Amino acid sequence: MFSDFVEGTLVARDKSALEQHLAACIQCRTDLESFRRAVGSLGKLKQAAPPRFLPDIQQQIYKRSHGRFFGRRWKLFGRIPFEWVSLATIIAMLIYYIAMLHGTPVGVRGP
């Protein structure tokens, strides 16, 4: 109920029940305080990230991983949608499977 309680959208009956419980329960008062703190700090994040935010992070990861991640190879690979690669692989395997089912066995000789 904390979310509705903090936002003031809790119905009166629930609100007074919660307030009564909070008056008696230190554990829930502590929980409510940490909930308020979390919501408060999240609220400050509402502004958009600066435009260099993502490239800078990728640059950092690139440097710290000694080029293992977010290198040029990664950028090139990122242009091919992964779903298309998966779909193409599945179709290729299906075609292979059907060809194997209907094709004449190779390398098997009759008596």
Q: Which residues contact 69 (CB under 8 A, 6 or more apart)?
A: 61, 62
Dihedral (Cα; 11, 12, 13, 14), 10-degree rounding:
50
Sign for the CA dihedral angle at 67, 70, 74, 75 comes to negative
Q: Which is nearer to Zn ion, 1 or 58 (CB)?
A: 1
Q: Which is nearer to Zn ion, 20 or 86 (CB)?
A: 20
**Closest CB 25 distance from Zn ion, rounded Å:** 3
Minimum distance between the CB of residue 15 and Zn ion, rounded to whole angstroms? 15
Measured from the CB atom, the residue of 25 and 88 that comes closer to Zn ion is: 25
Which residues of this chain interact with Zn ion, rule CB under 5 A?
Answer: 25, 27-28
